[in-house]
Amino acid sequence: MLFADDILLVDKTREGVEGKLELWRSTLESKGFRLSRSKTEYMEYNFSSNRPSEGIVTLGDQVINKSTRFRYLGSIVQSDGEIDGDIISRIQVGWLKWRNASGLLCDRNVPLKLKGKFYKMVVRPAMLYGAECWPLKEKHNTKLSVTEMRMLRWMSGFTLRDRIQNEHIREKVGVAPVEDKIRESRLRWFGHIKRRPSDDPVKRVEVLDLTCVKKGRGRPKKTWLENIRNDLSLLDLNENLTFNRTQWRKKIHVADPT
């Protein structure tokens, strides 16, 4: 159980977090366990750059360390709401899986299609863990696409000097573009959300009202729903189709080259 000790307490105010933290501490100690003060951290997320900080968080008379990012269930959460740290982390995990299997993936006696199947089953899922919830920007798509093509070229035995187009290499290995697979997983998750009951927690998050939040200067942050709107427009889809699960899956599916 890799993440068995990952416990997350969330509240709107500092007092609420301290109250939950104290309740968690007393409950653990009543059962003979102890809460580690040194490993416990808190992170404050400001939806508005104009909002003042809530101050420090304490547990009894001890001040809890403040963090700007933390890992929860394999994903990196940042206090500024960005996903750059999570993207870098997933790319590193993908390379780790790739290097562990490099004996197979770099073997010239192994057919390219077999290498591609292994990549799709082992490397790509590790690299795209949690991708269905990412509010991706163009720079993130570029970084993931460059990483994937480096892996595919290495597997195929080609370099940039060979001047072989990416589409030709994908055809030989049988791997669809990572950007298209991310779009598929994002729309699949969107369909799951749309089919949930109105009182479901994930449904309440979708309709969360943030109109009262004061926005800072500059362009608004890229949101997940903005990605979804772009996906629906690109594929010419109507979100009402999500209630027909079979048709929705068929419309959003991206097949790997055969």
The DSSP-derived string for 109-159 is TS-HHHHHHHIIIIIHHHHTTTGGG----HHHHHHHHHHHHHHHHHHHT--
pTM of structure: 0.82
CB 124 within 8 Å of CB 181? yes
More confident residue, 216 or 184: 184
Whether residues 238 and 153 fall in one domain = yes
pLDDT per position as a tens digit, 85-108:
999 999 999 999 999 999 899 899
Whether residues 155 and 190 fall in one domain = yes
Whether residues 183 and 156 fall in one domain = yes
Whether residues 117 and 42 fall in one domain = no
Q: Determine the Cα–Cα distance for residues 24 and 97; give it in Å rounded to an integer.
A: 36
More confident residue, 4 or 200: 200
Whether residues 61 and 149 fall in one domain = no
Give the 3-state secondary structure of residue 46: coil
Whether residue 49 has pLDDT greater than 60: no
Determine the average pLDDT of the residues in 50-56: 66
Whether residues 128 and 170 fall in one domain = yes
Q: What is the pLDDT of residue 65?
A: 87
Q: What is the pLDDT of residue 109?
A: 92
- pLDDT band at residue 171 using 50, 70 and 90 as cut-offs: very high
Q: Determine the Cα–Cα distance for residues 72 and 21; give it in Å rounded to an integer.
A: 17
Q: What is the pLDDT of residue 235?
A: 93
Q: Determine the Cα–Cα distance for residues 54 and 186; give it in Å rounded to an integer.
A: 34
- Among 49-63, 173-187, 189-203, the range scoring the smallest mean pLDDT is 49-63
Q: Which pairing describes strands 69-72 and 41-42: parallel, antiparallel, or unpaired?
A: unpaired
Range of the domain at 58: 2-67
- Among 55-69, 71-85, 111-125, 199-213, the range scoring the smallest mean pLDDT is 199-213
Q: Which of 10, 32, 67 is the last residue of a domain?
A: 67
Give the 3-state secondary structure of residue 69: strand
More confident residue, 209 or 134: 134
CB 195 within 8 Å of CB 239? no
- pLDDT band at residue 53 using 50, 70 and 90 as cut-offs: low
Whether residues 16 and 43 fall in one domain = yes
Domains of the chain: total? 2
Whether residue 2 has pLDDT greater than 50: no
Whether residue 50 has pLDDT greater than 80: no
To the nearest 10 degrees (0 to 180), the angle between helices 138-156 and 178-194 is 130
CA dihedral 24, 28, 31, 34 (to 10 degrees): -160
Give the 3-state secondary structure of residue 165: coil
Q: What is the pLDDT of residue 67?
A: 86
Whether residues 101 and 181 fall in one domain = yes
* Mean pLDDT of all residues belonging to the chain: 86
- pLDDT band at residue 5 using 50, 70 and 90 as cut-offs: low
Whether residue 243 has pLDDT greater than 60: yes
Determine the average pLDDT of the residues in 136-146: 94
Residue with tokens 């969360």: 208
- Among 7-11, 103-107, 133-137, the range scoring the smallest mean pLDDT is 7-11
Q: What is the pLDDT of residue 96?
A: 94
Q: What is the pLDDT of residue 3?
A: 45
**Is residue 72, in this structure, part of any structural domain at all?**
no
Element (H, E) at 72: strand 69-72
